[in-house]
Amino acid sequence: MPKTTIRLEPSEVEHARDGRKRAFVVVLSGDRMGEMFPLKDGTKTTIGRGLQTDVRINDEGISRTHALVEEDGGLYFLCDAGSTNGTFANGNRVERQALREGDKIQIGASSVLKFTFHDDLDEDFQRNLYESALRDRLTGVFNRGYFNNRLESDVAFALRHGKPLSLVLFDIDHFKQVNDTYGHPAGDEVLRVLADRVEGTTRSEDIFARYGGEEFVLICRDVDALRASRAAYRILDTVGGKPFELDARTLSVTVSLGVADLGMLVRPTAEALIEAADAALYTAKRNGRNRVEIYDPEHEPTRLV
């Protein structure tokens, strides 16, 4: 530890970018828990489950445009927008009410938002905290908890709007041998490099997550199984097409992938979609690994579909 304090030049000291506090709503419970949304100055911020709302929350009890927050003279007012189930502030149903720091806004069955003010440092801290809760620590991709919540939400949206939704489930072939031969640090590095490579092949609207151990999953929105299989083949190529460099060693890694979509299922639920993709993954393993298989409900019956 240095015995004296190092004198820094003024240019070396990082100052807060802007000490001015701005208004936000932070989602405390329900869909998108932990996310924060800035409120617009001098205009209205809309809240609802519609695609065009500023704060979009996927909840069956929330209207397409459920509520809005409008700024007027430095004050923020919560207004109901003619919603079916009403807008509540601190437990009381409201039509229009001025908001104060810490007020709780409830819409739908379980969605609660908090009205608050943040400066730049507060905002950065809140966003980093939110990201760390959603991300797998080793690979940096989304974790299983976030995947589970997002899949439930995406399935509900796809069914409501008649949109396709597909799932790609895959794992690393013979990963135990990697750990046994090269050690767990090498196995961790394989997981990190693989996740980085695969993330580079995905669309911005896709959700890529570590499902557990050496298993990963990709939610493909608005595509059927055939189009999702193209994404699966890109993953197959990007993983197996280039060796993994581990210190002075070179290692070949392959993956097996299973693909399924909601349209294949008699009972289209998130759980059934996962099971169908897992059945296709099992077929890929059984047929020799390092391949893509699409779920076939006639030849791969599962308990849930």
Which residues are the active-site residues?
214
Strand order in the sheet with 292-294: 207-212, 215-221, 165-172, 255-261, 292-294
HEC string for the chain: CCCCCCCCCHHHCCCCCCCCCEEEEEEEECCCCCCEEECCCCCEEEEECCCCCCEECCCCCCCCCCEEEEEECCEEEEEECCCCCCEEECCEEECEEECCCCCEEEECCCEEEEEEEECHHHHHHHHHHHHHHHECCCCCCECHHHHHHHHHHHHHHHHHHCCCEEEEEEEECCHHHHHHHHCHHHHHHHHHHHHHHHHCCCCCCCEEEEEECCEEEEEEECCCHHHHHHHHHHHHHHHHCCCEEECCEEECCCEEEEEEEHHHCCCCCHHHHHHHHHHHHHHHHHCCCCCEEECCCCCCCCCCC
